[in-house]
Structure 1
Amino acid sequence: MHHATPDLSFGDLTPEFMLDALDAAGLRADGRMLQLNSFENRVLMLHLEDARCGSTAAVAKFYRPGRWSDAQILEEHAFAAELAAAEVPVAAPWALADGSTLFHHQGQRLAVTPRQGGRGPELEDPDVLRWIGRLLARLHGVGRQRPFTERMQWASAAPAQSARDWLIANDAIPPETAPAWDDTVRRCIDAIQAAFDSLPDLQLTRLHGDCHPGNILWTPDRGPHFVDLDDASQGPVVQDLWMLLPGDPDAARRQLHAVLDGYEQVAEFDDRELRLIEPLRTMRMIHHSAWLARRWGDPAFPAAFPWFGTPNYWMDQTALLREQLEAMRPRDTTPARVRDEDIVDFDGDGFA
């Protein structure tokens, strides 16, 4: 099995290099740095000698080379600035020494945002979920004002097709498991595309794009705020809803209802988008396998995901994707959301 070539792009990110980069960007750190959890980029919390915008604590992100273009990153930053201007609580990047929010230093690119503390939200609390729903509706309200032109779209099966094509072209799947996996993925891609084709007038919106619970922080006085717009994208708004749901089908139905109850206090929601939950979930599963394979040259990935790439992994993925085929199977009638506790299980297999 072959994976991506060795990734040494972060090899020069020593503490000294990062301090020098921050100094060149016009931010003098006092030497206290804590690396934060992030596989895709290198992210650290730091303390500044002088306050910036009233804050001496900041978060610096060094972007993985080759993942996003400058134009894609700056489009994300502009979206964050629009959200902040509309008083949607996000951490928007600061302008740095050259006047841009994206600073280049010896082949590396970085952005810096103020540190915003908080803890994970209590997603079992309906009031918390309603608040998150209202906040997502406000984010999407800003997102509808103009489209992305550089960021990726979740508007067809294209991301799944691209992931499948890369995995096959790079021999990332053991030969003994590749035929079954590929046959299943091809059928999944057809089902995903059919789901999008069934909604020809689907409205696409600028999204957070990776709105799982780890990207929402909560404070008792201010409620929820978003972090990490690194995967900001364009697509149906349900993309920012389904990742908040737990694996248990009954709990997922209750929590979906609470989020939508809050959402619709601020904006309308097209119930037809609920048909896209399982196609979007399936697409993310295929995309995730390709992401792991592409990053295998980074030493952090084999250490964190030792189970990836084995024949058992690909057999398990094939089995899960076959379940997703059933979950995506078209029903005879158009699903309609029922109010209160009777949210319909549209896919017939829960949200697990």
Structure 2
Amino acid sequence: MPHYAALRPESVLDAVAAAGLDPDGRLLQLNSYENRVFQVFLEDGSVVVAKFYRPQRWSDAQILEEHAFALALAAADVPVVAPLALVPRDEGAITLQGEPPTLAQITLEGEPFRYSISPRRAGRAPDLEDPMVLQWLGRFLGRLHAVGAESGFKHRRTLDVATFGEAARERLLAGDFIPPDQLPAWRSTCDAALSAVREVFASVGAVRRLRLHGDCHPGNILWRDEGPHVVDLDDACTGPAVQDLWMLLSGEPQAMAAQMHQILQGYRLFMPFDARELALIEPLRTLRMIHHSAWLAERWSDPAFPAAFPFFGTGAYWSQQTSQLREQLAAMAEPPLQLY
């Protein structure tokens, strides 16, 4: 597990100071399962967010691609919170990477930690029942994708069946996380679901793949009076455009069709949308379900995860997963979402 115990308050303040900023001694740890994130108050009255990356999750190259994407978006006036360029106070205290330098590494109590620092930005959840909000979100994502389409990732993951489905399945089976009495049903249902996912992707054919936010659910979008913004691109990946749209939908198919209609009214002002991708919504939802279970399994040695997800690994959890995958099999057999 990560040696997060080394991230004591004084260590976090030392890391921020080493990166050229002046903490006033106050900090607040923010909710984050994957990384460790701290709100740090500075002597000039401003506030920044220091993000310490989970060891072994991303390579330096993958993190730097995330940073470069955020900086490109910010340069195009797309409202994202990009990492700050860091100027070390002592050249020997930390090492920096990136152009500009945005990724720092420091050794704390013998443990190496990589981190970045960003301005603090707050917001509230978007009102997804308001058609005007959905159109605004569509414009925001259209602009984000227009920048995302300008070039590609070389190091970050691609959202496909192999990576998010088959590899996740293998990790779960290899880790012995599924109770023996639940294993046969889950494995056979998962195999059937992945087969259906592959069939739908094959039937849709080749679609454009571009740089995405990757995890664009409502909790990752913050709304202010001036509109939406995002503070984290930690799950940025390459994939079809619809991946950043479908998690904003909810309800019955007719309701989702109406919501997508509003989103695309805004989206298409900045980016074309291939309607064939609508058939990928349920397959992508299926991959997300399997990948989420594998994510929990991979993090189980981190004490934060058993405390936050005590139901994981129980017979009830895997019975529920099997039922939900069966529902996905039925959903993937239905005609794709129809726009009006």
TM over 0.5: yes
Give the aligned residue type for 1:197.
Answer: A
Aligned to 1:285: 289
Q: Show the 5 A alignment for 1:236-251.
A: 236-251=240-255
Instruction: Name the SS for the 1:111 alignment partner.
Output: strand
Contact 1:155 / 1:196 at 8 angstroms: preserved in 2? no
Aligned to 2:92: none
Contact 1:83 / 1:90 at 8 angstroms: preserved in 2? yes
Give the aligned residue type for 2:28.
Answer: L
Give the aligned residue type for 1:205.
Answer: L
Task: Determine the C-alpha separation between the residues in 1 that align with 2:67 and 2:163.
Answer: 25
Within the alignment, does 1:113 sit opposite 2:125 as a pair?
no
Q: Show the 5 A alignment for 1:38-57.
A: 38-50=32-44, 56-57=46-47
Taking a change above 3 Å as real, the CA distance of residues 268 and 24 of structure 1, as seen in their structure-2 partners, is: same
* Structure 2, gaps ≥5 residues long: 89-95
Aligned to 1:329: 333
Within the alignment, does 1:30 sit opposite 2:24 as a pair?
yes
Aligned to 2:93: none
Count of aligned pairs: 325
Task: Determine the C-alpha separation between the residues in 2 that align with 1:338 and 1:8.
Answer: 46
Contact 2:253 / 2:337 at 8 angstroms: preserved in 1? no
Contact 1:157 / 1:189 at 8 angstroms: preserved in 2? no
Task: Determine the C-alpha separation between the residues in 1 that align with 2:328 and 2:216.
Answer: 21
Q: Show the 5 A alignment for 1:131-170.
A: 131-170=136-175
Give the aligned residue type for 2:106.
Answer: H
Within the alignment, does 1:218 sit opposite 2:223 as a pair?
yes
1:141-175 superposed Cα distances (whole Å, 9 cap, x missing partner) = 00001111111111334321011001111111111
Task: Determine the C-alpha separation between the residues in 2 that align with 1:337 and 1:277.
Answer: 12
Q: How far does residue 248 in structure 1 lie from its aligned partner after superposition?
A: 4.7
Give the aligned residue type for 2:62.
Answer: Q
Instruction: Name the SS for the 2:50 alignment partner.
Output: strand
Q: Once superposed, what is the RMSD of the aligned Cα atoms?
A: 1.5
Aligned to 1:180: 185
1:63 to 53, 58, 77: 53
Q: How far does residue 245 in structure 1 lie from its aligned partner after superposition?
A: 1.5
Q: How far does residue 200 in structure 1 lie from its aligned partner after superposition?
A: 2.8
Aligned to 1:338: 339
Task: Determine the C-alpha separation between the residues in 1 that align with 2:337 and 2:195.
Answer: 24
Q: How far does residue 253 in structure 1 lie from its aligned partner after superposition?
A: 2.8
Give the aligned residue type for 2:130.
Answer: D
Q: How far does residue 336 in structure 1 lie from its aligned partner after superposition?
A: 7.4
Give the aligned residue type for 1:33.
Answer: L
Task: Determine the C-alpha separation between the residues in 2 that align with 1:111 and 1:297.
Answer: 25
Q: Show the 5 A alignment for 1:293-332.
A: 293-329=297-333, 331=335
Give the aligned residue type for 1:16.
Answer: E
Q: How far does residue 247 in structure 1 lie from its aligned partner after superposition?
A: 4.0
Instruction: Name the SS for the 1:328 alignment partner.
Output: helix
Task: Determine the C-alpha separation between the residues in 2 that align with 1:155 and 1:145.
Answer: 21
Contact 2:257 / 2:339 at 8 angstroms: preserved in 1? no
| TM-score for the superposition, normalised by structure 2 | 0.92
Aligned to 1:86: 76
Contact 1:271 / 1:337 at 8 angstroms: preserved in 2? no
Aligned to 2:204: 199
Instruction: Name the SS for the 2:204 alignment partner.
Output: coil
Task: Determine the C-alpha separation between the residues in 1 that align with 2:253 and 2:3.
Answer: 41
Task: Determine the C-alpha separation between the residues in 2 that align with 1:182 and 1:336.
Answer: 28
The answer to which of 30-39 and 78-87 deviates more is: 30-39
Aligned to 1:125: 130
Contact 1:155 / 1:236 at 8 angstroms: preserved in 2? no
Aligned to 2:14: 20
Give the aligned residue type for 1:114.
Answer: P
Instruction: Name the SS for the 1:132 alignment partner.
Output: helix
Give the aligned residue type for 2:21.
Answer: L
Instruction: Name the SS for the 2:6 alignment partner.
Output: coil
Task: Determine the C-alpha separation between the residues in 1 that align with 2:162 and 2:201.
Answer: 8
* Structure 1, gaps ≥5 residues long: 1-6, 340-352
Aligned to 1:350: none
Aligned to 2:105: 104
Q: How far does residue 250 in structure 1 lie from its aligned partner after superposition?
A: 4.3
Give the aligned residue type for 1:104.
Answer: Q
Q: How far does residue 330 in structure 1 lie from its aligned partner after superposition?
A: 6.3
The answer to which of 303-312 and 191-200 deviates more is: 191-200
The answer to which of 157-166 and 68-77 deviates more is: 157-166
Instruction: Name the SS for the 2:43 alignment partner.
Output: strand
